[in-house]
Amino acid sequence: MSSIRVALFEDNFHLRESLYFLIAAEADMECVGAFADCNGLKQNIVAAKPDVILMDIEMPGMNGIEAVAEIKQAFPGIPVLMQTIFQDDEHIFNALCAGASGYLLKSADPQQYLQAIRDVRQGGAPMSGPVARRVLELFQQTVKPESRNHYDLTQKEKEVLAELIEGKSFKMIADSLGISYETVRSHMKSIYNKLHVHSNTEAVIKALKERLV
Amino acid sequence: MSSIRVALFEDNFHLRESLYFLIAAEADMECVGAFADCNGLKQNIVAAKPDVILMDIEMPGMNGIEAVAEIKQAFPGIPVLMQTIFQDDEHIFNALCAGASGYLLKSADPQQYLQAIRDVRQGGAPMSGPVARRVLELFQQTVKPESRNHYDLTQKEKEVLAELIEGKSFKMIADSLGISYETVRSHMKSIYNKLHVHSNTEAVIKALKERLV
DNA sequence: CATTCCATCACCCTATTGTGGGATGCCTTT
DNA sequence: AAAGGCATCCCACAATAGGGTGATGGAATG
């Protein structure tokens, strides 16, 4: 098995050098580029042909989050590992949404860096402990805690609700379900009763937040 | 530092015994219970007082996913580590939604089990590589691929939209923002233009799906 | 200082929704 | 056979929302 080609983006000179030698010293990986900023990002990547990219978030000029978005667009196959001191929701969320495949806190020890590189190369998503936990929590809350609710909606009511959260009007729903406008309205009344809401909008919100469909 | 109290739920006798001795042999942890099913789940937990629970998904009677939901309700502070052979979306998704704090594939080697137990105890969320990657992908897609849209909503427009996804009517929004009904409508018209939608409902859907607020 | 953007409000008219009835026919359960 | 739930439809009336047009004052920009 050939060695893992790692490219590095880190503005801090000392850290960049340290990581370079850390990686270079490993038998199963090599550092094919160490850059201080994202100038000429794409050209650098084309030239270096990395298997994995290690990307700092805080950098002068284009920051790591913008960079990962560009990389994912231009080279969707190359996993990007974020390294950062930030562990607030906003940074984690943005980096992962931008397409990062892993998120390391800089407190991680050298061996964890190396392990994470191997891990991401093999299809994993290495994340420092607290970050992984936050991701899980964000994930769990987007799905809503007290989900498993069920409001005893009938089949037809669910269908109507499903159409509703497509943004359709009653008329359009009537049309696409092949029933009359008045029937749709009738189902809506019933849905309102069961969900304890009093408008289209509230029903949609509840349905989306609680994944009722 | 006192040792980590681990409780074990696993229907397979051999695996259960193996895990028991594996854990018991570690200096920093002890196995305070090894159960073949979820009968008397809560009583067992109360009696064993575990710090961490290791839970198999496939079990006779109550399965691991139902069990984790019950545990999270009754003992929200105890992290639950799922162990399973399943790595399909449905199982991962359900287990994590039910409140699991980690998800290990049974292919994991013994040292990884032990590391995962320590990890989850310290606030991490250990997940086997492919699972972590799937969670990230699910996460990224629930947030919507072509998100990072921003529609240049003004401050006030965002405020109105925020109220809207609370389920409020125009009148209520006018009231709570201290502006007139007509002004709310005015902002709404502008929001519709910017989001390219034509109704309250569509705006709410777009705002929720793309996390515009 | 003219222009543009924004927040604010008003009025008119139409379209869509919300609410409260009620009716029919078809199931399944009792 | 009676009772209940469901899907289907209808009507009427009130409330809310959508679309068009325009006006005002303030802040920011050039």
* B213 CA vs C4 C1’ separation (Å): 27
A69, A143, A204 member nearest B201 (Cβ): A204
What is the Cα–Cα distance from B144 to A208, expressed in whole angstroms?
A: 14
The pLDDT, as a whole number, for residue B5 is 94
* Residues 6+ positions from B116 with CB-CB distance below 8 Å: B81, B102, B104, B108, B126
pLDDT tens per residue, range B114-168: 988 998 998 888 888 888 888 887 777 665 544 456 788 899 999 999 999 999 9
Q: Which nucleotides of D are covered by protein (CB under 7 A)?
A: 6-11, 16-22
> Based on the domain organization, do B10 and B84 belong to the same domain?
yes
> Based on the domain organization, do B23 and B124 belong to the same domain?
yes
> Based on the domain organization, do B84 and B184 belong to the same domain?
no
Q: Which of A137, A172, A196 is the last residue of a domain?
A: A137
According to DSSP, residue A36 is labeled: S
Contact indicator for B187, B160 with CB cutoff of 8 Å: yes
* Residues 6+ positions from B6 with CB-CB distance below 8 Å: B23, B29, B30, B31, B32, B50, B51, B52, B53, B54, B117
Chain A residues whose CB is inside 8 A of the B130 CB are 123-124
The pLDDT, as a whole number, for residue B213 is 63
Q: Which of A102, A121, A137 is the last residue of a domain?
A: A137
Residue B186: C-alpha distances to residues A49, A207, B151, B182 (Å): 52, 27, 17, 6
* Residues 6+ positions from A41 with CB-CB distance below 8 Å: A62, A67, A70, A71
Which CATH number belongs to the domain containing residue A185 in this structure? 1.10.10.10
Mutation for A interface: B107, B163, B201, B206, most A CBs within 10 A: B201
Q: A123–B129: do the CB atoms touch at under 8 Å? A: yes
* A140 CA vs D23 C1’ separation (Å): 49
Q: B135–A138: do the CB atoms touch at under 8 Å? A: no
Q: Which of B103, B119, B137 is the last residue of a domain?
A: B137
Note down pLDDT in tens along chain B; length 213 residues. Answer: 678 999 999 998 998 999 999 999 999 999 999 999 888 889 999 999 999 999 998 888 888 888 988 998 899 999 999 988 887 777 887 888 888 898 888 876 888 889 889 989 988 888 888 888 888 877 776 655 444 567 888 999 999 999 999 999 999 999 999 999 999 999 999 999 999 999 999 999 999 888 766
Owning domain of residue B179: 145-209
User: Does the beta carbon of A164 lie under 8 angstroms from any beta carbon of chain B?
Assistant: yes
> Based on the domain organization, do B201 and B114 belong to the same domain?
no
Q: A125–B140: do the CB atoms touch at under 8 Å? A: no
Contact indicator for B74, B66 with CB cutoff of 8 Å: no
The pLDDT, as a whole number, for residue B189 is 94
> Based on the domain organization, do A159 and A121 belong to the same domain?
no
Classify residue A150 by burial, with Cβ atoms within 10 Å: 0-12, 13-18, 19+: exposed
Which CATH number belongs to the domain containing residue A9 in this structure? 3.40.50.2300
> Based on the domain organization, do B90 and B125 belong to the same domain?
yes
User: Does the beta carbon of A138 lie under 8 angstroms from any beta carbon of chain B?
Assistant: yes
> Based on the domain organization, do A109 and A180 belong to the same domain?
no
> Based on the domain organization, do B93 and B54 belong to the same domain?
yes
Total domain count, chain A: 2
Note down pLDDT in tens along chain A; length 213 residues. Answer: 678 999 999 998 998 999 999 999 999 999 999 999 888 899 999 999 999 999 998 888 888 888 988 898 899 999 999 988 887 777 887 888 888 898 888 876 888 889 889 989 988 888 888 888 888 887 776 654 444 567 888 899 999 999 999 999 999 999 999 999 999 999 999 999 999 999 999 999 999 888 766
Q: Can you say whether residue A144 is alpha, beta or left, with left for phi > 0 and alpha for psi between -120 and 50 degrees?
A: left
Of A54, A44, A42, A62, the C-alpha closest to A15 is: A54
> Based on the domain organization, do B133 and B151 belong to the same domain?
no
The structure tokens listed for B77 are: 């502070």
Write out the DSSP string of A80-123. EEEEES--SHHHHHHHHHHT-SEEEETTS-HHHHHHHHHHHHTT
Chain B residues whose CB is inside 8 A of the A97 CB are 140, 143, 147-148
Question: Which protein residues have a C-beta closer than 7 A to any atom of strand D?
Answer: A 152, 154-157, 177, 179-183, 185-187, 190, 199, 201; B 169-171, 185-186, 188-189, 192, 198-201
Beta bridge partners of A35: A9
> Based on the domain organization, do A99 and A153 belong to the same domain?
no
> Based on the domain organization, do A62 and A81 belong to the same domain?
yes
> Based on the domain organization, do B111 and B21 belong to the same domain?
yes
